[in-house]
Structure 1
Amino acid sequence: MYGLIGRILAVEGRREELVSILLESTGSLPGCHSYIVARCAEHSDGIRVTEIWDGPESHKGSLQIEAVRDAIARARPLIAGFDHRFETEPVGGIGLMAQ
């Protein structure tokens, strides 16, 4: 298992637009067990993204999916920066299912 936890900083006042784009391409991500997008309580333009994958290859492979590539291209102008990024090795817990 392979995990990523990161914080993206949106361009001031554009967080909700960026959140929407990040959530668009989550329908079919082979090898992805969990992809959670959350607003940061501590930063008005911050977004936390938590991902769990079969392995790093699955994560890299997702970046080749056309819908993901399109979302990344549209999101780039809305991203002011990335200030935290952690790789993890998930070992268990309770998963969240998309509704």
Structure 2
Amino acid sequence: MYGLIGRMIAAPGKREELLGILLAEIAPMPGCRSYVVARDPSHADALWITEAWTDKESHAASLALPSVQATIARAQPLIAGFDNRHETEPLGGIGV
């Protein structure tokens, strides 16, 4: 499996709006085993995104899906940046 854990920083004061976009209309993505978006309680503008995929290729292919492209387009103006990104190799658990 292939995993990603990343911290996304919203533009100041835009975290809740960005959160709404990232969670609205989540469509099935082939190969996606888990997709979790969470508030960072220690940073007022940060969100953690944790993903588990069957493989790295499935994740890469998801970025071309029309639903994902639409979400990226809507979210992009609210994203100030990313300050953490880690690739992982999920081994199991609930929802994977």
Does TM, normalized by the shorter one, top 0.5? yes
CA drift of 1:21 comes to 1.0
Q: How many residues align?
A: 96
Q: Which structure 1 residue ranges, 4+ long, deviate > 4 Å from structure 2?
A: none
Which residue identity is paired with 1:79? I
Partner Cα distance (1:58, 1:26) in 2: 16
Specify the code of the residue in structure 2 equivalent to 1:59: H
Secondary structure in structure 2 of the residue aligned to 1:67: helix
Structural mapping, 1:44-83, within 5 Å: 44-83=44-83
How many percent identity over aligned positions?
A: 57
Quick check: 1:39 aligned with 2:36? no
8 A contact 1:26–1:35 mirrored in 2? no
User: Match of 2:92?
Assistant: 92
Normalising to structure 1: TM-score of the pair? 0.92
Q: Which residue of 2 aligns with 1:30?
A: 30
Is 1:3 matched up with 2:3? yes
Q: Matched residue of 2:58: which SS?
A: helix
Cα 1:53–1:25 change in 2 (3 A) is: farther
Query: What's the counterpart of residue 17 of structure 1?
Result: 17
* Alignment check: 8 A CA contact 1:25 1:68 kept: no
TM-score by length of 2: 0.95
> 1: distance between equivalents of 2:74 and 2:16?
14
Q: Is the 8 A contact 1:14 1:78 kept in 2?
A: yes
